[in-house]
Amino acid sequence: MTPLKLQPLPASWEECIQRGWDSIDILLVTGDAYIDHPSFGVALIGRFLEHYGYRVAILSQPRYDSPSDFQRFPAPNLYCGITAGNLDSIVANYTGNGKVRETDAYSPGGNGWRSKEKNKNNRYRPDRASLIYANLARSCYKDTPIVLGGLEASLRRFVHYDYKQNRIRSSFLTDAKADLVVYGMGEHAVLDIARKCQSGKPLQGIYGSCERLTENELNRRFAGWSAPDSNDFLVLPSLTEIQGDKKLFLDAELALDKHSRAGSDQIVLQKQQTHWVVQHPGAKSLTVRELDSLYELPYTRLPHPQSPDVPAYRMIKDSVTIVRGCSGNCSFCAITRHQGATIQNRSVESITRECKTLAASPSFSGTISDLGGPTANLYGTSCAIGGCKKKDCLYPQICKHLVIDEERFLSLLAKVASIDNVRHVFISSGLRMELLLRTPSLLRELILHHIPGTMKIAPEHSSKEVLKLMHKEPHALLTKFINHSRALAKSLGKNLKVVPYVISSHPGCRDQHATQLANDMGKLGLPLKQFQDFTPTPGTLSTAMYVTGLSRIDKKPIYVAKNSSERMKQRKLLEGKNSNPRVRHNDIRATATRKKVRRR
């Protein structure tokens, strides 16, 4: 089937009928407004499946007080795929301190509620959306496989901590009684699932997926999995064991972190209540050709007509993704766990073609707002020895095997800047300072032409003790980078403005560390305009430290600011040193995080 170009995927059964369809193969349900742009995960997956000939429809932000929106579609022929959206629904709905967010950047008008009546049943996106949508789908499509995916389900596929409920929860796979969870970047997995459903084969052994098995099913499938000398399985502490001893939560997260970064082929097992979660090895990363093809599918790059005025769209509509993955492995960040530690680069030619398409759009302003990804200047990097189990390319210093292709990035900037109708090309995604110091020509070019007012860097803290827990480079690097960059900017006749992102109340951070952070940034002339309280989101080592009160390094006790008064005190220590007392610390950083994550 040839895809219908310049149309969004159908978002209602009426639109399916208009295309002459009498059924759909796959229904994708999302907690975000539907934007047919490759920065939105449901659009990527939908267009990818359409490319392979499947009839795909989108159900965006359905009501969850009744099954009526689900009932408007017939049962899909193959499966129903469910995502909470580009963000975890709890992160989207609440601040790190559990306060309700008044806005939702992924909903029409930026409003978190469908009407003026503000109650939990009237939000566009429910709490733990993956679970709610899965239950509604199951009630309407009795015999249809239910597949969870996206950021929320991916990071909640094992035992995890829910900061809104302040408790350890079991896997979303078992809570939702879904058939599968697709974890990580799901293109290969969703295609495998569609083909197995089409051919009537069982949904077993799919790379990049998790299954839910009973004890008997596990024993039949994997005889000998519990043998003490077996190297084929990683068995995590169970839900019951973790609830009885929270120290085991850190053990589980450390084991998962090591397993994930190594790209291990071990099958991961974790018992919940009556079932086991079985994680198969991760799907292979997309090749350059596959990644190019994915981002050059026929997206309209526009909101669906039923999703007007979505703030997240305004922010990214003129941006282009150039890189996936992050080898930084910051303790507080889930990007490595979700997108992987292996850097996946698009070709210069593909990015240039997408920019030409963007520049030809009638609504194009003349400015490409971002050529980026999780970390923009990881673009073009690779491993000289083909990779290792550690995959820790930047910490505690740049690995000797990391290949940095400065010329490739410079060539990309030059080619995109030469496109007709393009007046400005900016890099708005975060930049790694240690890499910029290794690429002097790129740093010079960025300062001269490609910084949109301010350069965004993320030192996160200045305390030696806190930085170690964060898995971040020492403060001396920030000092070196700022002095070097300002001297370079001055020689170029530029006034360089730098905005540092920092985190308050991270596990291990005491009041004196917050004071030190404020003083250190003040000495460098860096205003604390963008900072946030630490948010214990699922799937990070920092969250495990928050829950257990133990260091990820040596498992010794550390201080954790948990109650609101402790966290507020640290925030005020930073705000007291801030030259701009009106700055909104939390929502600004949350917006930046939304842009950085970008994916399902």
pLDDT score of 466: 98
pLDDT score of 226: 87
Q: pLDDT tens digits for 304-342? A: 998 889 999 999 999 999 999 999 999 999 998 999 999
* 258 pLDDT more than 80: yes
Q: pLDDT tens digits for 275-308? A: 999 999 999 999 999 999 999 999 999 999 988 8
* 394 pLDDT more than 90: yes
Percent of the chain clearing pLDDT 90 (strictly above): 88
The topology (CATH level 3) of 454-600 is Transcription Regulator spoIIAA (3.30.750)
Interatomic CA distance for residues 81 and 408, integer angstroms: 37
Question: Which residue has 């990818």 as its token pair?
Answer: 48
pLDDT score of 306: 86
pTM over 0.95: no
Mean pLDDT of the chain, nearest integer:
93
Alpha-helix runs per DSSP H in 200-275: 215-221, 239-244, 247-262
Q: pLDDT tens digits for 475-522? A: 999 999 999 999 999 999 999 999 999 999 999 999 999 999 999 999
Q: pLDDT tens digits for 368-377? A: 999 999 999 9
pLDDT score of 5: 54
Which pairs from 42-46 meet CB under 8 Å and 24+ separation? 42/83, 42/85, 42/150, 42/600, 43/9, 43/299, 44/187, 44/294, 44/599, 44/600, 45/81, 45/149, 45/186, 45/187, 45/190, 45/600, 46/9
Q: Are 58 and 299 in contact (CB under 8 A)?
A: no
Residue 467 amino acid letter: L
Q: Are 323 and 370 in contact (CB under 8 A)?
A: no
pLDDT score of 577: 55
Q: pLDDT tens digits for 59-111? A: 999 999 999 999 999 999 999 999 999 999 999 999 988 899 989 999 999 99
Q: Beta partners for 532?
A: 503
182 Cα distance to chain centroid: 14
Q: Are 420 and 355 in contact (CB under 8 A)?
A: no
Count of CB atoms situated within 10 Å of the CB of 16? 20
Q: Are 88 and 152 in contact (CB under 8 A)?
A: yes
CATH architecture for residues 318-452: 2-Layer Sandwich (3.30)
